[in-house]
Structure 1
Amino acid sequence: MESLIPIYTLEQFAESNNISLLNKEILSFSCGQEDMDAIDLNYPIKIKCFSFLLVTGGEVKLNIDFQEITLHNKDIVFLYPNNVLELIKISSEASFQNLFISVEYFTNLNLKLNSADALQILSNNFSRVVSLCSESFDNIHRSFKRLEVLNNPESEVIFYEEIQKGIVNLVMYELAGYVQKQQNPLMKILRKEDIAIKFSHLVATHYQTRRDVQFYADQIFITRTHLTRVIKDVYLKNPKQIIEDKIISEAKILLLKSEFSISQVLTELKFQDQPTFTKFFKKKTGFSPNAYRKSLASA
């Protein structure tokens, strides 16, 4: 069954926006005030890659997995391949820069911090907003713009791929260093945090079909008891709560859209039947799916 929420690869997203790329593993593009009329608001999508959204002016309100956040000038948010992104409201003076990086490209970056460590520095959950200082903002903004120019098919730079990889590395180091400095200059990456971020990625990938904690413990090669202890320490929730929260977030996003029937929603989320879905949803939210949808309509 085709997903109710449109899912794009990086290349498909570029094609849908008529953007030509030299290197199809990365995409950097600007959205200025003159581009805002063409942006679809209240339209959830998934893009199967890592991405950054850097606000360069005004205010941008969006949902990430149904969690509403507001970004201001110099804010940057890091998104994972399975996040659902939905733009809600954009101020009249808003502008922003996007950078998309394929999973394969990201994992092959030549960082002295490995990919998991870099992710952990940038996020202590599924996504994280960072408010940048002027210096870091300027450095990252220039890098995004340079990547945009280098990836244009009209670019005549011979070693564009090597330069692009160097710039993406610089962006990662700039962000990792900035976040690390803001938290604690002596912060060290701990084993338990590495386990927690791996668990988060596995949940984002398998939550529709695997809701048993043992599956995730097996994937990380640790015991279920150890996984539970680690997740409680890092996220202040147990693994089952994290899995169920992800399912509920997805369900809420789908129920927002009146064109999707409740039957379609439960099928999308791999529930066996409507009573099972209704019981699960009501236990987590206090509403039946139908009552929740009606409450949104009357809000």
Structure 2
Amino acid sequence: MKDIKWETLDRLKAGFKELEAKGEFIYMPTINLDYYPGEPYRSNYYGIGLLEQGEITFYIDLTRYHIQAPAIIFADTTSIKRWDKTKRTYEMRTILFSEDFMQSKLIENNVLNSFSDLSSLGGCVTQLNEVEFTNFLTLFKVIDSRVNSDNPFHIEVVRGAIYSMINEVAYMYEKYGNQTKALHSLDLRFREAVAKHCKQQRSVQFYAEYLHVHPKYLSHVISTETGMTASEWIQSQVVLEAKVLLQDHTISVGTIAEVLNFPDQSTFGKYFKKYAGISPSNYRENL
């Protein structure tokens, strides 16, 4: 578990034989956070989770979500995820699936558009009312009943249920926003820009020009929406990217400094220690 940079379906299948694994998807009738790394990670799969009971805390990129049931969670492949494993008072069904699984025979434009829109967010969390919860539970029960079926078309049934879930999640997001809070459009565009460009750009001025706004206005909006200044958000995202890279022991600290566009390893080390409170080497040793 220490060397994980990317969590993969193959590693989950190999490490946990009890998982309901079929081709390019894994169905988890109950979640076990032992399946996931304790440190930040990216994944090569998408995930949809239905929180049925209790509460759970997790992070998508720099955003913390403390969710109470009933709720639906969507996470994509680009976001950095981390689970709080200290509380275990929850029940959740989860389906994990690859992009190839989604794209295969994907001909419905509305599904493709919903999938693209959700992926651009990095993830989505939405509370559900009783009717909405029942709808998602029904779709998960369809998957549960087909995952080990002898029916030669059972994979298509599972795929259809996932298509339906994606459209439902997209509708929930449009209706309620992310965790019932609509993001300021500038805040959302800033987060997307930082996630995309932080390996090369770390100045507020760059993002203000990129988003065609004044730096002071950008900082005001970000501070109001997130409680962090724009500069703090950028710094935190860079540190998060560095932590993910440091989990892969095959990549030297010097190479990570280059990947993150620091002039040298020493400058990267000082930056990381300043904002993470620990040196890159010590962080890696403590994984």
Say whether the fold is shared (TM-score over 0.5).
yes
Letter in 2 for 1:142: T
SS of 2:212's equivalent in the other structure is: helix
CA 1:275–1:91: 2 relative to 1, 3 Å: closer
Conserved in 2, the CA contact under 8 Å of 1:49 and 1:103?
A: yes
Alpha-carbon deviations, 1:239-288, whole Å to 9, x = none? 99987653222335678x8x98xx955644535533221454477x4x76
User: In structure 1, what is the equivalent of residue 10 of structure 2?
Assistant: 11
SS of 1:60's equivalent in the other structure is: strand
How far apart are the structure 2 equivalents of 1:91 and 1:59?
A: 8
Range 142-151 or range 51-60, more displaced: 142-151
SS of 2:122's equivalent in the other structure is: coil
Q: After TM superposition, give the deviation of residue 73 of structure 1 in Å.
A: 1.1
Letter in 2 for 1:229: H
Alpha-carbon deviations, 1:79-113, whole Å to 9, x = none? 12133333223544411111112122334533332
Identify the match of residue 98 of structure 1 among 94, 119, 126: 94
How far apart are the structure 2 equivalents of 1:111 and 1:206?
A: 32
Matches within 5 A, 1:107-118: 107-108=103-104, 109-113=106-110, 115-118=112-115
CA 1:84–1:106: 2 relative to 1, 3 Å: same
User: In structure 2, what is the equivalent of residue 221 of structure 1?
Assistant: none
How far apart are the structure 2 equivalents of 1:67 and 1:254?
A: 19
CA 1:207–1:99: 2 relative to 1, 3 Å: farther
CA 1:111–1:146: 2 relative to 1, 3 Å: same
How far apart are the structure 1 equivalents of 2:103 and 2:232?
A: 28
Q: TM-score, normalised by structure 2?
A: 0.67
User: In structure 1, what is the equivalent of residue 78 of structure 2?
Assistant: 82
Q: After TM superposition, give the deviation of residue 26 of structure 1 in Å.
A: 2.0
User: In structure 2, what is the equivalent of residue 187 of structure 1?
Assistant: none
The reply to whether residue 162 of structure 1 matches residue 170 of structure 2 is: no
Q: After TM superposition, give the deviation of residue 126 of structure 1 in Å.
A: 2.6
How far apart are the structure 1 equivalents of 2:80 and 2:236?
A: 14
Q: After TM superposition, give the deviation of residue 131 of structure 1 in Å.
A: 0.8
Conserved in 1, the CA contact under 8 Å of 2:57 and 2:83?
A: yes
CA 1:159–1:107: 2 relative to 1, 3 Å: closer
Conserved in 2, the CA contact under 8 Å of 1:66 and 1:253?
A: no
Alpha-carbon deviations, 1:178-216, whole Å to 9, x = none? 222335xxxxxxxx99x959x94x9767865x5599xxx
Identify the match of residue 127 of structure 1 among 123, 126, 129: 123
Letter in 2 for 1:75: A
Q: After TM superposition, give the deviation of residue 167 of structure 1 in Å.
A: 1.1
CA 1:45–1:290: 2 relative to 1, 3 Å: closer
How far apart are the structure 1 equivalents of 2:128 and 2:241?
A: 30
Conserved in 2, the CA contact under 8 Å of 1:110 and 1:169?
A: no
Matches within 5 A, 1:233-272: 245-251=236-242, 267-268=255-256, 270=259, 271=262
SS of 1:277's equivalent in the other structure is: helix
Q: After TM superposition, give the deviation of residue 77 of structure 1 in Å.
A: 2.1
The reply to whether residue 228 of structure 1 matches residue 227 of structure 2 is: no
Q: TM-score, normalised by structure 1?
A: 0.64
5+ residue gaps in structure 2?
A: 178-184, 223-229
SS of 1:89's equivalent in the other structure is: coil
How many residue pairs match? The answer is 258
CA 1:289–1:254: 2 relative to 1, 3 Å: farther
SS of 2:66's equivalent in the other structure is: strand
Conserved in 2, the CA contact under 8 Å of 1:82 and 1:205?
A: no
How far apart are the structure 2 equivalents of 1:5 and 1:229?
A: 38
Conserved in 1, the CA contact under 8 Å of 2:139 and 2:161?
A: yes
CA 1:181–1:280: 2 relative to 1, 3 Å: same
CA 1:100–1:20: 2 relative to 1, 3 Å: closer
Conserved in 2, the CA contact under 8 Å of 1:62 and 1:85?
A: yes
